Structure 1
């Protein structure tokens, strides 16, 4: 469990499953800033054939980690950090084409938690959800072909769920054009708020309401385990890579009463996108 030095603690967990694919091309990480006051979560879903996608996703994580370690919390904005992470990773992924003779691409979704504020950015169709209890407050919009059709009134949300090109992105890191980045933020966070970041190998099998209910009811670790297990069942043997990060804001518990010395002593531990028309 990661804790902020405030009246609210962060119960956080990241988890992955290879699914039914030959290789795990997703990457996920949860980082604590050297100052101890800021947390960064990142999910990247790599694409580009054997090894290429994994290299692209790993580059997103490597770039984010390096920039976050050098991030000046008081002098740089979250947007500056996100722009540097995504644009630098984009250029380095493009360079991988010449080194590895692959066509690597990656999505990216990032969440920065500091004080009582959350800021996020994404490119592609890896998603971020913000829940208060089980109620959905906001969700990122995929940079995908079908979401473009929905936004322009050419396709209904129900039709989009079954569309044959629903996995085609219109932007990504590593594409010919510069990646398109969307930003979001939430202020006045409180105990009961939760954030879920995940690749499409997870969200593809759930409604927003189902995700909110699981995250609200369970600890971060148990929520990750339960969501992955259910996604595997619903995938029916043809599931994609799965990556998920859950961050829950919980109120600190009051100090426990001193244990009666006559009693037995013990301890307890509680611990889809502006991709170039590529289908993943």
Structure 2
């Protein structure tokens, strides 16, 4: 038996993540319900008492996974191999999930999850036996309460730049368009409350974008270079804890996007307006422990 423990520190409280968990469950079900040979059947959805974690909600679902397999491989498999059965007991902040595949009778994947306001520092939250502790492997995802994630997506459908921050004082998410479809850059901030550094890898070898945040709680500065020599985007944050302004210049001359943050310490919203025209030369317009919440 393999025992794997994941400790995932998230930039939100247990109370905030309860909403995020419900959203991710619904999003995963929707994502899996597209095309032939896909979909999620909810067979049972009912409350329970005196079960795992005490009282909660029990669900029994069937995931049809045929769409994830090549057609030739799907054609030779029995139908029992194209489905995964999920039983889940949600007694937040404790959840238990069990996966089976009828085609492989001896296969069982069981996930127990506890959500704790401890930053992943507790050692034996599941009360494992000594023999289980010896088998246990721990995977730690490093983050602090100051972690932010930037996702840069492509502008090629409807060519636009959008930015949305759904935040408390500990959570911020920015989505910005990049110039190429199916190519993207991502950045992760591993930080203390005083100094934060962003490293953004570009989609091209030997070309990269970098950003450095030197900050106190009052002033932050971001410099983002583009993947093109002599072309760059810059962003400057001059802020107090109440108001921040971001100006992002695009890699194309005379074309730019701007964003303004009007905020309190609890909620911030970014509105980024982009230019959508195309020039006559054909240049493109600018425009913790578990994965339970993802299943």
| Fold agreement, TM-score > 0.5 | no
Larger radius of gyration: 2
TM-score normalised to the size of structure 2? Answer: 0.28
Q: Select the structure that is richer in helix.
A: 1
TM-score normalised to the size of structure 1? Answer: 0.29
